[in-house]
Structure 1
Amino acid sequence: MSSQLMRALLLALLSTVIALPVGYFVAHWAGWTVFCLGLALQMAFHFRNFARLDRWSHNPVVDPSLEGEGAWDGIFGRLYRHEKDLREQIAERDHQIAMLFAAGQALTDGVVLLDTHNQILFCNSTAEDQLGLVIRTDRGQSVANIVRQPEFVAYLEESDFSRPLTMRTERKEDRVFSIHIIPYAGSRRLMQVKDVTQTERLDRMRRDFVANVSHELRTPLTVLAGFLETLQEFDVDREERNRYLEMMADQSKRMQSIVQDLLTLSSIESAPPPDNEPVDMASLLDKLHRDADGLSAGRHTIIVENDGHNDLRGSEPELVSAFGNLVANAVRYTPAGGKIRISWRASPQGGEFAVQDSGIGIEAKHIPRLTERFYRVDRGRSRDAGGTGLGLAIVKHSLNRHQAQLDIKSTPGVGSCFTAKFPASRVSSL
């Protein structure tokens, strides 16, 4: 400002220097006229630049043509640089906000930001899908007016967020969500919504597994303990004793089968990826045929079909175990005189191993759960048939490790067809 003041004083002094001779030699009024004209020109110059500055202040833009004359040029230059820096900072801030917004949208967990009155400030697309929110219309609405489950409303009112709330929503009853509210920025709240359906399912399966193992082993152990106690405390004749020992042996074999299947399932789950070696399907089908004949003891008609053009690639022991379980089930659950068909077909799209029987069949409601461990359609019939309840679980895991799927079709009273479908990558040409 000192340079601008000096410039103004110099211009005023110049006007005075010119006005004094004019007033002395011409007329006083002429001198004053020259002096006032000089000041007016100076004021017009400043007013012109001030008017430009006023117009720019109403619509500040980064304009390289924004320049003045004299001292005003420095002022306009500084304004230009300041506006340019400010807009760069705003652009950088907007970019960071956009990146933060994109990161929030990319989260697999739902995120809802609430104000001090639990009104919605923001939510990502995951939360919209989970809770049925629509941010365009629900912003500013109380979240309790949209998610109306009593347990959720009570969770908000109690304000005890030390533990998350686990619940199902009316919109998605088949899903289980864990809701955790975290206070932030004073009394605002961040609501995290996590889909724990799979975790809950696995936890239920773990509980069911422990309960089922205990139940399956308790029965034979009870029988063994009862017979041992009888033999220890009472004198029984040789024939009765042999009968007890035979029943004890049967229960021991049953426990042995359960433990062996559990070990097989455990080894499959923890084993490295299966081999990719060719498996001779002709030889494998022949082995399955002989095993089926031995288990059937002539009570069934067993047919084997092989297109003879392609083999499988994978772990032969695992495939033998999986296919063997399918064949054994067909023999167990097909009445005497029934027919069992074992087939292998391959095409450019992949391979299919199928076991079809004319057995008792399975109701449609049971099919989705058949591969669960210890799941039985009829517990009494399964035990009588000699099954452990783990066979189809072993089949499922073995096939999954070979990128194959198990397709089950069944009609009660007509029969069932279990088909293992392998991708083309698992089929090798001879």
Structure 2
Amino acid sequence: MQRTFPWLRSIARVIIFLASCALLGFYTDQLLLTLLLGAFGLLAWHYWRLYRLNYWLWHSKKISPPGVRGIWSHIYQGIYSANVRNREKRKALGEVIRRFRQGSEALPDAAIVVDRDAEIIWCNRLARIELGLSWPEDMGQKVYERINDKQFNTFYHAKRFEQPLEVTSPINPNKVLEFRVVPYEDENLMVIIRDVTRLTQIEKMRKNFVANVSHELKTPLTVINGYLEMLPENGDMPEAMMKKAISEMRSQSVRMQSLIEELLVLSRIEASTERAFEKLVNVPQLLWQIQVEADALNREKNHKIFFDISPILYVYGIESELRSAFSNLIFNAINYTPNGGVIEVKWTLEGKQVKFSVKDNGYGIASEHIDRLTERFYRVDKARSRTTGGSGLGLSIVKHVLSHHNSLLNIQSKLGKGSTFSCRFSPEQTYIVEQPLSH
């Protein structure tokens, strides 16, 4: 509430003070000296108040003003009221900014705001994940330099933003991103980035699915049909041959069922439209569950399996997909390591990134096979794959899951020494909890 300044009262006080000095001067016959001393005292008093005001404004930690009277009380209260109003405005503005940030982080697409000089003003969390940006380190950087793609560079400088641009992700070669540039607030622009990998892969996925199924199901169907042709119509067949035929047909049918299930999992991952960076996944709990399953699978193998799981490291992702990827790597190590081997599973923080790794001391893989391991149905040793029941789809599933989570599968292996399969997750995908759940 605005207070009226007491001009008359203040002037009256000055007049009364000077009149008192004049009366004292008449009484002592030193009128001029008394008036000068009174004026000097009045000036000194005001300068002292100015010093107190300066100290309160710049050095005092107190928000409330010092207790004074007269004209200076009004000045202090005016400054204090202005500060309170400004603080309330800053609080309201901060609340608006907070809501804007929350809204921008909830956007289904990555977004970057740039000024007329193409310098980055702001970006949301999804932009930092999809494009590898850092905030606030990249503030003021040229957007085309940080994205670092020739097609986008040409597209941006051409200033023809009517049609979107599709380019390969600068940090994930398995992703296709669509860039749109729209006007935003005066001369600024907003770059909207959408992951369109699923749309571009869907037709390819359908063709590959038919081709892969027809190829991989051909062998077990041939075996089953062969045994069925051998069976006489009256069912009269030696018992030993009958047992072998039934056993082999059952084995091939289980193989076909497993193959179809993994193909469906792979197709579901490839066609998934679920956003990977919205939900927080309790990875330690997930790995402890897989550990129980791994121990059951390991009963006949008698491996020594060591789990080093940090309980405070969570990631944003899709739990079912991460479970499929991690379990595939762990179960592969169990199946493809000779009995009595050593397997180490780690979920730890290295620098600013979270790393998952599975290390074994098994047969190892020759270097010429490593680059093709994630291809569908690729097998290093087909005979060993048949023995272990491998379909050749496990690592392909892992590759697609990690690609969906902006990560890559790293494979290090030496023949006769063993192999290490690992992947990393960026700091933007990582969440460190303060009170982890106990195992």
TM-score, scaled to structure 1:
0.50
Hey, what's the Cα distance between the residues in 1 that align with 2:423 and 2:230?
A: 48
Aligned partner of 1:230 in structure 2 is 230
Aligned partner of 1:336 in structure 2 is 339
Q: How big is the shift at 1:274? A: 2.6
TM-aligned CA distance change 1:298 to 1:249, over 3 Å: closer
The 5 Å alignment of 1:169-318 reads: 212-233=212-233, 235-272=236-273, 273-274=275-276, 276-299=278-301, 300-318=303-321
Candidates 417, 420, 430, aligned match of 2:420: 417
SS of aligned partner of 1:372 = coil
Hey, what's the Cα distance between the residues in 2 that align with 1:307 and 1:204?
A: 39
SS of aligned partner of 1:360 = coil
Hey, what's the Cα distance between the residues in 2 that align with 1:249 and 1:239?
A: 15
Answer yes or no: is the 8 Å Cα contact 1:209–1:374 preserved in 2: no
Hey, what's the Cα distance between the residues in 2 that align with 1:275 and 1:254?
A: 35
Structure with bigger RCO (C-alpha 8 Å, 6+ apart):
2
Q: For each residue in 1:53-98, what CA deviation from the matched residue of structure 2 results, as whole angstroms up to 9, or x when unmatched?
A: xxxxxxxxxxxxxxxxxxxxxxxxxxxxxxxxxxxxxxxxxxxxxx
Aligned partner of 1:176 in structure 2 is none
Q: Which amino acid aligns with 2:408?
A: Q
Task: Confirm whether residue 372 of structure 1 aligns to residue 375 of structure 2.
Answer: yes
TM-aligned CA distance change 1:208 to 1:313, over 3 Å: closer
Hey, what's the Cα distance between the residues in 2 that align with 1:257 and 1:251?
A: 10
SS of aligned partner of 1:421 = strand
Q: How big is the shift at 1:395? A: 0.3
Hey, what's the Cα distance between the residues in 2 that align with 1:424 and 1:277?
A: 15
Q: Which amino acid aligns with 2:325?
A: A
Q: Which has the larger radius of gyration?
A: 1
SS of aligned partner of 1:221 = helix
Answer yes or no: is the 8 Å Cα contact 2:284–2:309 preserved in 1: yes
Aligned partner of 1:56 in structure 2 is none
Hey, what's the Cα distance between the residues in 1 that align with 2:409 and 2:262?
A: 19
SS of aligned partner of 2:390 = coil
Hey, what's the Cα distance between the residues in 2 that align with 1:411 and 1:259?
A: 32
Greater helix fraction, Structure 1 or Structure 2: 1
SS of aligned partner of 1:405 = coil
Answer yes or no: is the 8 Å Cα contact 1:209–1:373 preserved in 2: no
Aligned partner of 1:354 in structure 2 is 357
Q: Which amino acid aligns with 2:347?
A: W
Hey, what's the Cα distance between the residues in 1 that align with 2:321 and 2:205?
A: 23
SS of aligned partner of 1:369 = coil
Q: How big is the shift at 1:346? A: 2.2
Q: For each residue in 1:212-240, what CA deviation from the matched residue of structure 2 results, as whole angstroms up to 9, or x when unmatched?
A: 54332111001111122223445124454
TM-aligned CA distance change 1:385 to 1:413, over 3 Å: same
Q: How big is the shift at 1:358? A: 0.7
Hey, what's the Cα distance between the residues in 2 that align with 1:276 and 1:348?
A: 24
SS of aligned partner of 1:351 = strand
Q: For each residue in 1:141-184, what CA deviation from the matched residue of structure 2 results, as whole angstroms up to 9, or x when unmatched?
A: xxxxxxxxxxxxxxxxxxxxxxxxxxxxxxxxxxxxxxxxxxxx
Hey, what's the Cα distance between the residues in 2 that align with 1:219 and 1:406?
A: 30
Q: How big is the shift at 1:322? A: 0.5
Answer yes or no: is the 8 Å Cα contact 2:353–2:426 preserved in 1: yes
Q: How big is the shift at 1:375? A: 1.2
Q: Which amino acid aligns with 2:253?
A: S
CA RMSD of aligned residues (A): 2.9
Q: How big is the shift at 1:323? A: 0.6
Task: Confirm whether residue 400 of structure 1 aligns to residue 403 of structure 2.
Answer: yes
Identity, in percent, stands at 44
Hey, what's the Cα distance between the residues in 2 that align with 1:289 and 1:420?
A: 18
SS of aligned partner of 1:326 = helix
TM-aligned CA distance change 1:382 to 1:204, over 3 Å: farther
Q: How big is the shift at 1:308? A: 2.2
Q: How big is the shift at 1:310? A: 1.3
Answer yes or no: is the 8 Å Cα contact 1:357–1:417 preserved in 2: yes
TM-aligned CA distance change 1:369 to 1:311, over 3 Å: same
Q: How big is the shift at 1:208? A: 7.8
Q: For each residue in 1:277-319, what CA deviation from the matched residue of structure 2 results, as whole angstroms up to 9, or x when unmatched?
A: 2222232121221222222224211111112221122111100
Aligned partner of 2:60 in structure 1 is none
TM-aligned CA distance change 1:429 to 1:208, over 3 Å: closer
Answer yes or no: is the 8 Å Cα contact 2:284–2:310 preserved in 1: no
Q: Which amino acid aligns with 1:277?
A: K
Hey, what's the Cα distance between the residues in 1 that align with 2:415 and 2:399?
A: 22
TM-aligned CA distance change 1:382 to 1:232, over 3 Å: same
TM-score, scaled to structure 2:
0.49
The 5 Å alignment of 1:127-206 reads: none
Range with greater deviation from structure 2 (225-234 or 305-314): 225-234
Q: Which amino acid aligns with 2:292?
A: R
Hey, what's the Cα distance between the residues in 1 that align with 2:371 and 2:203?
A: 18
Aligned partner of 2:384 in structure 1 is 381
